[in-house]
A and B are shown apart, each in its own frame.
Chain A
């Protein structure tokens, strides 16, 4: 997540132990050289466009161009009326979807870490492999599943849980299903990592001291899993704030979210200034979220290896 790849002298230096941080000058020079490449790449393709966005957000929009200036007009528009509603709806949406994701991911991660035994690698692979296929294909396959006369309708009808045609596609429910499905693997992995690292003896001790299963979970497992929870929220909520493909493919483009609103300002209204201001607002929301969660993830260091 760091924008500036640190040159960590303690890592991966051939022949050098952890304590051996000082190195000969040429070796350091080479390291600097290697580090400069990604730094330059980031500066050019990440920081520079970001800079443009910030500068544009204070400018005046001409159709398809921006006259540089120093006005807060765009922010006023972005923070009033329809756009404010959209912004708040997006935040609410991301938080809800992220929470749903967490609720589903936690038991899965817990099961893999504690109960899967020799099948845990297999389980992790099964969860991660689909994630490497095209995002678009995975979301569109839900279209086929959720469509009228689709697999889910057939199954629900067969189980008598539903009767007749199922019109799930193009609803908010479908969007949430798509969101949870898409982001589930990246929520499971950090949770699995922390749960896996909780030493068994801690739990045994808790039981020995008279805590019930539930008390152990609540007082020992959950607090120790905190950094994983924070990471999972971060990795799901942040991209959800900018999500625009899933609402379009599964939600029928109803109930506009921020990602769609920004895209339409840039591409359709040709109003780069307002689009930039909206993008900066989302960035600020993300930054606040990251800062808040970073405090929680600090706990990572305290989880014993």
Chain B
């Protein structure tokens, strides 16, 4: 899961690692979880009484300015703690340590699992107005009717490549696999470390739905990617510098990292290949036992205000869900179309992965095999 890349506007920092992969590296999560499940309910700020809000989110996922503004307006400073993966969020909500959270930000892939386990509560739509949001981001198949989730920001799986080095235009995932096998490109390819994003390429090419594929179909598709693995240089978080200096010339990535790379090397191109590709959405969701419900709805209403949505987009580098957001961004925003995955993004050709306990193990196992096949 290395698809987000924190990309504050004008940041000169080296953005080599997505926050997800970086924190995952620290490896502290499992240990912390084990300790926390042994000693429930210790770590967080007191939530009793009014005037508190405990947010559990990806690191750096709220604009500091809008948070400060909210604290000024409401008198409540949101207490934000962070996690590095949906799996960590799931494990924590699933344990007594998750009891204090009022608001969490799961990705589209995990909403159903969390809801099915009774970890999330239904959102009271009478208390929030979603009319200002982009309708193509609502009522998607991972959460019909947005019973449990409100889109916060989103991204797509695409391909960034150097047309000169690759020597062909990439339009489909098959083009991607063909181009990657060519001499001069082979060995300079980056694949995602997420099983469904690699195996998905082959499933989509064969007209299969990644949420309905059987174990046999997933394994068969995995074989194709395993055969391709010898051309892969890395599965680690994509470093835009590696694209800029030519160490990588063809890469699966999200639009945010692609935009960072293109800022460094304008020759590069970003495309969302067909026939299908991934849309992921990170969502506001309310844990079943959230202690400060009124405060959550107040905060959510604030977060959905257009000015806040714009500020969030500028801060995290991924688009918030506000309708018509593109035209509301400052005119001097560079490569503004790229923020939205390119000019003619067709939401009907995007699908969101939904974690299913019956097949997720297969996806992950095959991904491990693919990564092993890439370098013996």
Contacts of B242 in A (CB 8 A): 147-148, 169
B247 interface contact, C-beta 8 A = yes
Q: Which of B25, B87, B247 contacts A167 (CB 8 A)?
A: B247
Interchain CB contact under 8 A, A252 and B30: no
Binary flags per residue of B232-245, CB closer than 8 Å to A gives 1, else 0: 11111000011001
Contacts of A252 in B (CB 8 A): 232-236, 374-375
Contacts of A248 in B (CB 8 A): 21, 25, 236
Interchain CB contact under 8 A, A82 and B369: yes
C-alpha spacing A253/B1, complex, angstroms: 13
Counting chain A residues whose Cβ lies within 8 A of the other chain, the interface size class is 35 or more
Decide: A136 near B375, CB < 8 A? Known: A45-B35, A64-B94, A254-B234.
no
A165 interface contact, C-beta 8 A = yes
Binary flags per residue of A245-278, CB closer than 8 Å to B gives 1, else 0: 1001101111110001101101111110000000
A143 interface contact, C-beta 8 A = yes
- Give the one of B35, B232, B368, B376 with max A CB within 10 A: B368
Decide: A52 near B34, CB < 8 A? Known: A249-B236, A252-B233, A269-B361.
yes
Q: Which of B85, B117, B236, B361 contacts A267 (CB 8 A)?
A: B85
Q: Which of B87, B232, B235 contacts A268 (CB 8 A)?
A: B87
Interchain CB contact under 8 A, A267 and B365: no
Interchain CB contact under 8 A, A256 and B372: yes
Q: Which of B16, B21, B26, B375 contacts A143 (CB 8 A)?
A: B16
Contacts of A172 in B (CB 8 A): 375
Decide: A244 near B27, CB < 8 A? Known: A49-B34, A170-B233.
yes
Contacts of A158 in B (CB 8 A): none
Counting chain B residues whose Cβ lies within 8 A of the other chain, the interface size class is 35 or more
C-alpha spacing A248/B87, complex, angstroms: 19
- Give the one of A63, A136, A171 with max B CB within 10 A: A63
Contacts of B235 in A (CB 8 A): 252-254
Contacts of A255 in B (CB 8 A): 371-372, 374-376
Contacts of A266 in B (CB 8 A): 30
Interchain CB contact under 8 A, A148 and B246: yes
C-alpha spacing A41/B117, complex, angstroms: 34
Contacts of B6-48 to chain A: CB distance below 8 A: 16, 21, 24-27, 29-30, 34-35, 38
Contacts of A89 in B (CB 8 A): 376
C-alpha spacing A53/B228, complex, angstroms: 36
C-alpha spacing A271/B91, complex, angstroms: 12
Residue of B nearest to A169 (CB): B247
B364 interface contact, C-beta 8 A = yes
A33 interface contact, C-beta 8 A = no
Interchain CB contact under 8 A, A63 and B357: yes
Contacts of B330-376 to chain A: CB distance below 8 A: 357, 360-361, 364-365, 368-369, 371-372, 374-376
Task: Please give me the 7 A-B residue pairs with the lowest Cβ-Cβ distance, nearest first.
Answer: A252-B234, A254-B375, A255-B375, A63-B357, A253-B235, A254-B374, A148-B247
